[in-house]
Amino acid sequence: MLALNPSHQQHEEWFRLRYCKDDELRFLGHRDTMRLLLKLLRQSRLPFQCTKGFSPRPRIVWGPPLPLGFVSRIEALDFALKPESDAMAAGLAERSLNRLHEAQGERQMILDVRHLRNEEPRISRAAVSARYTLVFLNEQLKPALTADQVEVWLTTEGRFVAGIGTNAEESSTSESQPEGGLLSWEVEDSLLHLHAAVGGRDALSLSRFVKGLAAHTALRFFIGERTALLDAQGEPVH
């Protein structure tokens, strides 16, 4: 681990790393994914700005967790580097990407690195919602979900998971409070497309959503994909 240089403690530049979780990694939990990425970052031997204390670590801001069973090519985290000069800062994004590619070997997890402008919010604040595509299979292992099945579930027990059509006045028990998070949905060609909140108390619990819908329809959840991270204006977060 690189030690902090007091003369450069205040000079830091932030970068956004975009990575993927493919079929091989989709059952890797969020904490294990964090450990894997942290290992790659350390192996890259970049000039990280580190936290203070007895066990300094690279300063990292993590994006919203990806649920188990989901793949994605749009996952992101932000990390801080401490360039020794403005000239060094200018080429750090490309240098970081090259070093991370070397560190990952054949894994092909790291996709891109770019420099963040000073006014850009960190990924944990920038991403407020996301779009997903979910696949549910029948006994013949074919996509078989219908809009009617989703509609019925969401108007009954599913509304408490999705936060639809409920409010705090309907029940005084915390178990019955809506958890919120589902912003919109549609079924097209038996594929379920969701737009859901990912940050704060309104974040949709996709694991509970998937389990509840699968139990209601007697279908098997096969795979899901996060297809977009969106900001407060509904624009993609890059």
What is the domain-level CATH number for residue 186?
A: 3.30.70
The model's pTM: 0.85
Our count of domains for the chain comes to 2
Task: State the Cα–Cα distance between residues 25 and 49, nearest whole angstrom.
Answer: 28
The two tokens of residue 100 are 């991370």
Side chain identity, residue 187? V
Q: Is residue 25 exposed (0-12), middle (13-18) or buried (19+ Cβ within 10 Å)?
A: middle
Residues 104 and 161 in one domain: no
Residues 95 and 159 in one domain: no
Task: State the Cα–Cα distance between residues 15 and 94, nearest whole angstrom.
Answer: 11
Which residues span the domain enclosing 162?
127-230
Q: Which residue has the higher pLDDT, 155 or 177?
A: 155
Q: What is the per-residue pLDDT across 109-156, written as a single tens digit (0 to 9) for each?
A: 999 999 999 899 999 999 999 999 999 999 999 999 999 999 999 998
